[in-house]
Structure 1
Amino acid sequence: KPAAHLEGIIENQKLVWLSDINHAFLKDGMKLENSKLVVPSHSLYFIYSQVVFKGQGCNGSCSLSYSIYRFSNHYPVEKILLSSSKTACDGSVQHTKPWMQPIYQGAIFMLDEGDILLTEMYPMSDQDIETSDGNTYLGAFTL
């Protein structure tokens, strides 16, 4: 059965998905092209992902968002499959301590052969995403 588990690293202020580090893998036709996951066949897929945002200090609320998109030959634009937002800190409390906030998403979708999964997040800089082992990942498998 097709399956993939990718781990993220930061390169040039972009989150890049890799299939050849730590516990990451591609199986039975899943492909990774330009940091985008390509599904091999029409099927139900469970798609899951986590991004851990990090920062230093809070002066008001910092908004964090993470989305997974589907690009398909069946329609001309990318469509959001999963999207989530949260604030990094309680806006009423100001401090200088480090913080971390995970965003996890997962759901079942019917995908077609050749569909492409891609991700987008905000904010994004070298320091914004925790990429140590197992913190930031993207995966999909057929049901």
Structure 2
Amino acid sequence: MVAYTTAPGDVETGPEKRTVVLIEKKSSTGWMWKLSVTLLVAALCFGGVLLFAWYWNGKPQTLIQSGQTEALTKTDTAEKTDPHSTLRRISSKAKAAIHLEGSYDEDEGSKDQVEWKSGQGQAFAQGGFRLVDNKIVIPQTGLYFVYSQASFRVSCSDGEEEGAGGHHTPLSHRISRSSESMGSDVSLMSAVRSACQNTAQDDSYSDGRGWYNTIYLGAVFQLNRGDRLWTETNQLSELETEEGKTFFGVFAL
């Protein structure tokens, strides 16, 4: 900014001859404006750095949580589609439970009953349950869910007629109870089915080597301490004993 200032004239020269001096005055608002712009730019840069750091620090945690949720969802879906896993999960949360896997081998002398084992596959025992003489011993008086499954593969051809379906083969599976308080043995649950039929059934099928059929039993009972439970199954030579096909268990409610 330039201001015009008139210098005092010489008295002797008169008013006609005066010297005009130009004096430049710098405005104080110019440097303040530049300083404000500089501070604003610095503030914006600092804010951008903070936002960038916050975004990248939070993103890995979000990805981890998302991955964990997806993994849990897949696990839950797989378990829901497997009834055997569902029974195992429910019984494992019970105060007392036992789950046994069945086996049968004529060469080992098991000719009249399924041999139940607690130390193989998914079998386990907890809460005082014991397996004595192939029977489950109830640890305490109370309500219990008792269940068992027997799977069969039956050859339906009698050798005299061509093709399958020449005769019917009855299959049976039973759970019995021995109780000192009742004084006698009683049958808790039982089922009888025929695997060989001329038409297909909903719960059995054939693959050219025989008919497959499964008998499942399950219900709630009031049992006493010391009661013993066991199974009776016919057609043992046709029994399927692969893991998860034939089992026996009890868990407290």
TM normalised by structure 2 equals 0.52
More displaced, 36-45 or 57-66?
Answer: 57-66
Residue equivalent to 1:137:
247
Tell whether 2:231 aligns with 1:119: yes
The residue type paired with residue 132 of structure 1 is: E
Bigger fraction of residues in strand: 1
Number of aligned residues: 140
Q: Secondary structure at the match of 1:45?
A: strand
Aligned partner of 1:6 among 87, 100, 115: 100
Unaligned runs of 5+ in 1: none
* Higher RCO (Cα < 8 Å, 6 or more apart): 1
More displaced, 103-112 or 48-57?
Answer: 48-57
Aligned partner of 2:218 among 106, 119, 123: 106
Alignment check: 8 A CA contact 2:156 2:169 kept: no
The offset of 1:91, in angstroms, is 5.7
Equivalent positions of 1:26-65 (< 5 A) are 26-58=125-157, 59-65=166-172
Alignment check: 8 A CA contact 2:156 2:168 kept: no
Q: Which runs of 4+ in 1 moved over 4 A?
A: none
The C-alpha deviation readout for 1:82-110, integer Å capped at 9, x for no partner, is: 001110111689x9741211000100000
- Distance in 2, matches of 1:48 and 1:92, equals 29
Alignment check: 8 A CA contact 2:156 2:210 kept: yes
CA RMSD between the two structures: 1.8
The residue type paired with residue 133 of structure 1 is: E
The offset of 1:54, in angstroms, is 1.4
The offset of 1:123, in angstroms, is 2.2
Q: Secondary structure at the match of 1:78?
A: strand
The residue type paired with residue 124 of structure 2 is: F
- Distance in 2, matches of 1:45 and 1:76, equals 20
- Distance in 2, matches of 1:92 and 1:42, equals 46
Aligned partner of 1:18 among 96, 99, 117: 117
Bigger fraction of residues in helix: 2
More displaced, 72-81 or 39-48?
Answer: 72-81
- Distance in 2, matches of 1:112 and 1:139, equals 16
The residue type paired with residue 187 of structure 2 is: I
Structure number, greater radius of gyration: 2
- Distance in 2, matches of 1:108 and 1:23, equals 22
Alignment check: 8 A CA contact 2:104 2:236 kept: no
The residue type paired with residue 61 of structure 1 is: H
Tell whether 2:192 aligns with 1:89: no
